[in-house]
Every structure is written in C-alpha cells, then in structure tokens.
C-alpha cells in the first residue's frame, strides 16, 4: 500500500511558506490506518519490547495500538505539568527557545526493552528527549517508529543504538 | 478484570483538595490495556460504526486502537488552530471561561455512523462539543465510550441519542 497517497499537502501551515504534511486523510481511511498500525507493530515484533512510549499528542495516535499488537504496555511522555505523579524531565530545543518532556518515574523498569513512537521524525529533538527519559529510568531503547520522516533533517542521527523505522520518507 | 485496581489516586492534583484519578498504571499494564481497548471495541461491534472520533489528547490513547478493532477510520478532534485544513468549531464551558474544539470538514460523511471516545466523562462539556461537531458534518453519533465516568456530574445527560459506555464508574 502506498501510504504517501493519503498524505495531504497544506500550504502555508502553520505559517507562510511551509507546506504541512497532513496525516488526517490517512488516519481517516480504515485500510490505510490498519496498514500503518499493523506494519509498524510487525517491524518490531520478536524484539522483546514490553513498553511502547508515545509522545504527546500525536504519538498517542499510534503507540497504544502498536502496544496492543506487541502485547506491551503503553507509556505517555507529556509536556510539563500534565503527568500527575512523580516525574523526571528532559529538555529539547525549539526553533525559538526550549521546552521539556516528562515521564512518570515508574513507567519503565530497569533493563526493560522500549519502543518510542511518534507521528513525525524531523530534527529528532523530541524523540531524542524521549530517548533520554527512557535511559534515565534505565530502560533500553530498542527502536523508534514514525509514520513520516523528513530525511534531510537527519533526525535519526540523534537516536543512537535504536532501530529507526519510518513508513513514509520525504 | 477489575480495572479499578489499576487506577492511582493522586491527592492535590491538579490543585489542592482534588484527588486525581491517574490512569497511567492501567495503560502501563499490558493485560489491563488490552482488556480496556478490546472491551470498548466489543461493546460497539455490529453497530455499523465507520469512524471513531478521539478527543485531544487522551482520547487519542483509546480511539485509534478501537477504530482498528471495529475496522473503522480515526478522526482527531483538536484544540483551536492545530488542525491544518478546513475546520468547523464548537465551544464548550470550562470552570473559568470557554474553549473550542475543531474537526476537519471532510472527517465525517453525511449519515456516517460515529463513535466518540475519550478517557474521562465528567461534566460532558468536551464530549458534548465533539457530539455537536459530528452533527455539524451530518454524521450520526451512535455511541460514546469512556474509560472512566464520574457519575455524580451527570455528563451522559448531555449526550442525547448516544449509547454511552464507561468501563469504570466513580
């Protein structure tokens, strides 16, 4: 299945001059959604993954269904102040300034094998922060799965030791 | 399976005097996650549902996996300015003030049968806004599914005509 045909180009979003890759037509189509979720799960089967981390908020669209497919648990990584219990945090760079991501301290056990999932791999800033969060809890990041990868931004270089899989590349 | 045993009470979150129902231990446990996702899908099987709407951001944790189980598409309902294409919006009340939710205008076709999903049914403000968004697109809201329902707030009264299902009640 050519998933690329389900991506809609939206010019000038979120600001003038940027062409946004809109994934909602893909999510809206039951066959494309099924293919994307099951293919990402299949690519990481048999690797002993017991936790799938989803990055707020669009990583949540993919991570729990992949966790279901891999018989793993789901772990949310959230923006600051949203997780209610004890957390650790890691910073990442934005175009202007910095932001943080948080994870619950009991979300991953030591030596547990972890898959990190998000919709888009661009510069790798948020995925790299999620990777460091898992390492802070002494988990092992086996893989990182994305629907879309913008290869020219070389984000996968910031995810050392992880098997990086994307279903659509630009 | 008694899902309630996987919910963690967090006192004084998000502010003093409130006991927050933390669902992350449930999501973290592969058996509890599997049970919650498959039970919600089963409760709506055979109803002709072709779209599952998830409300940003914790509705995303449940809706796509339920869509997969029902062989339906997934539709995100988002906060203002986040969806890139043409949208319609509906307002809802907050404790102080108002906010809006948006849906893409092509997300639901006329007469399509729709399930709305979120983590929590409290006053029903956001679910009711999502319900109105689907109606604006001439879709039919067959059901609303939630992990947790705070029954004393009577949110289900704001979802007329929909079969409302929750897995845990307080």
List chain B pLDDT tens, one digit each, 170 residues.
Answer: 999 999 999 999 999 999 999 999 999 999 999 999 999 999 999 999 999 999 999 999 999 999 999 999 999 999 999 999 999 999 999 878 899 999 999 999 999 999 999 999 999 999 999 999 999 999 999 999 999 999 999 999 999 999 999 999 99
Q: Rounded to whole angstroms, how far apart are CA atoms A46 and A13?
A: 39
Q: Determine the 3-state secondary structure of B41 from DSSP.
A: helix
With 0-12 / 13-18 / 19 or more C-beta atoms within 10 angstroms meaning exposed / middle / buried, residue B157 is exposed
- The confidence score (pLDDT) of residue B94 equals 84
Residue A94 has pLDDT above 90, yes or no: no
- The confidence score (pLDDT) of residue B25 equals 98
- The confidence score (pLDDT) of residue A140 equals 98
Among A43, A56, A58, A136, the active-site one is A58
**Number of other residues whose CB lies within 10 A of the CB of residue A34:** 17
Q: Tokens representing B42?
A: 């089963």
- The confidence score (pLDDT) of residue A96 equals 82
Q: Rounded to whole angstroms, how far apart are CA atoms A104 and B120?
A: 20
Q: Rounded to whole angstroms, how far apart are CA atoms A99 and B149?
A: 33
- The residue-averaged pLDDT of A53-78 equals 98
Closest in B14, B24, B81 to A104, CB measured: B24
Q: Which helix (H) or strand (E) holds A42?
A: helix A30-43
Q: Is A95 among the catalytic positions?
A: yes
Q: pTM for the full model?
A: 0.97
Taking only residues 121 to 150 of chain A, the set having a beta carbon closer than 8 angstroms to any beta carbon of chain B reads none
- The residue-averaged pLDDT of A47-68 equals 98
Taking only residues 38 to 97 of chain B, the set having a beta carbon closer than 8 angstroms to any beta carbon of chain A reads 38, 50-51, 54, 56-58, 60-62, 64-65, 67-68, 71-76, 81, 83-85
Residue pairs spanning A and B at CB distance below 8 A: 115
B contacts of A29 (beta carbons < 8 Å):
73
- The confidence score (pLDDT) of residue A105 equals 98
Which of A27, A58, A34, A40 minimizes the C-alpha distance to A166?
A: A40
Residue with tokens 């709407």: B53
Q: Is A100 among the catalytic positions?
A: no
Q: In this structure, are residues B75 and B130 in contact, taking their beta carbons and an 8 Å threshold?
A: no
The length of chain A in residues reads 170
Q: Tokens representing B15?
A: 């502010």
CB contact under 8 A, A62 and B64: yes
Q: In this structure, are residues A64 and A54 in contact, taking their beta carbons and an 8 Å threshold?
A: yes
Torsion of CA A106, A43, B71, A63, to 10 degrees: 20
Which of B109, B168, B121, B116 minimizes the C-alpha distance to B142?
A: B116
Residue with tokens 């997300």: B107
- The confidence score (pLDDT) of residue B104 equals 98
Q: Rounded to whole angstroms, how far apart are CA atoms A57 and B85?
A: 18
> What is the tens place of the pLDDT at every residue in A95-104?
788 999 999 9
- The residue-averaged pLDDT of A113-132 equals 97
Residue with tokens 């006192």: B11
Contacts of A68 (CB under 8 A, 6+ apart): B33, B34, B37, B38, B65, B68
Mean pLDDT of chain A: 97
Q: Rounded to whole angstroms, how far apart are CA atoms A67 and B97?
A: 37
Which of B89, B62, B68 minimizes the C-alpha distance to B78?
A: B89
The length of chain B in residues reads 170
| Smallest Cα distance from B66 to chain A, Å | 8
- The confidence score (pLDDT) of residue A95 equals 77
Strands B8-11, B19-22: parallel, antiparallel or unpaired by DSSP?
antiparallel
- Where are the strands (E) in A94-139, listed by range? 98-104, 113-121
- The residue-averaged pLDDT of A19-48 equals 98
CB contact under 8 A, B64 and A33: yes
């Amino acid at each position: 299945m050519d998933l690329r045909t389900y991506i809609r180009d939206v010019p000038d979003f979120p600001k003038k001059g940027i062409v946004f890759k809109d994934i909602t037509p893909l999510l809206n189509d039951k066959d494309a959604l099924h293919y994307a979720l099951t293919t990402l799960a299949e690519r990481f089967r048999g690797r002993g993954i017991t936790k799938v981390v989803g990055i707020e908020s669009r990583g949540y669209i993919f991570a729990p269904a992949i966790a279901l497919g891999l018989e793993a648990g789901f772990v949310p990584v959230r923006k600051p102040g949203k997780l209610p219990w004890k957390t650790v945090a890691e910073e990442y760079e934005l175009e202007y300034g910095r932001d943080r991501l948080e994870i619950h301290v009991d979300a991953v056990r030591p030596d547990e094998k972890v898959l990190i999932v998000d919709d888009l791999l661009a510069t790798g800033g948020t995925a790299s922060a999620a990777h460091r969060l898992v390492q802070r809890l002494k988990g092992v990041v086996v893989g990182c799965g994305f629907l879309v990868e913008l290869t020219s931004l070389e984000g996968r270089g910031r995810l050392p030791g992880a098997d990086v899989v994307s279903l659509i590349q630009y």
